[in-house]
């Protein structure tokens, strides 16, 4: 998995390339440590994401739980149909802002 981060002021965009699973989710979590403390907008670009497991969903949820109490905004962008179905089945579509590919 490759993680590309671009921070502009209080906005952070994170592009996730490859699978986000039990092996790679800790890598994403570590890459975001301390990065989202002063962020009010977080965008995950999932265009090149090939698979997301429950471990990846856990990292996404943790980010949401960090931003939401302080009025922050988090958006999953370029979500393909397969990933959208996983988000829908897990209930994430009820509280996350999602832009489909």
The confidence band for 10, taking pLDDT boundaries of 50, 70 and 90, is very high
The confidence band for 15, taking pLDDT boundaries of 50, 70 and 90, is very high
C-alpha 54: how far from chain center:
12
Q: Across the chain, what does the average pLDDT equal?
A: 97
Angle, nearest 10°, between helix axes 25-32 and 54-67? 20
The pTM of this model reads: 0.95
C-alpha 83: how far from chain center:
12
For the chain, the C-alpha Rg in angstroms (whole number) is 12
- Domains in the chain, CATH or no CATH each: 2-100 (3.30.750.24)
CB 34 within 8 A of CB 65: no
pLDDT of amino acid 48? 97
How do residues 57-76 score in pLDDT, each as one tens digit?
999 999 999 999 999 999 99
């Amino acid at each position: 998995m490759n993680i590309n981060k671009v921070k502009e002021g209080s906005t952070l965009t994170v592009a996730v390339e490859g699978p986000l699973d039990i092996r790679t989710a800790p890598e994403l979590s570590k890459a975001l440590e301390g990065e989202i403390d002063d962020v009010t907008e977080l965008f995950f670009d999932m265009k090149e994401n090939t698979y997301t497991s429950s471990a990846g969903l856990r990292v996404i949820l943790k980010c949401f739980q960090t931003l939401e109490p302080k009025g922050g905004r988090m958006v999953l962008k370029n979500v393909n149909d397969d990933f959208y179905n996983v988000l829908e089945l897990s209930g994430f579509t009820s509280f996350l802002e999602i832009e489909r590919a």
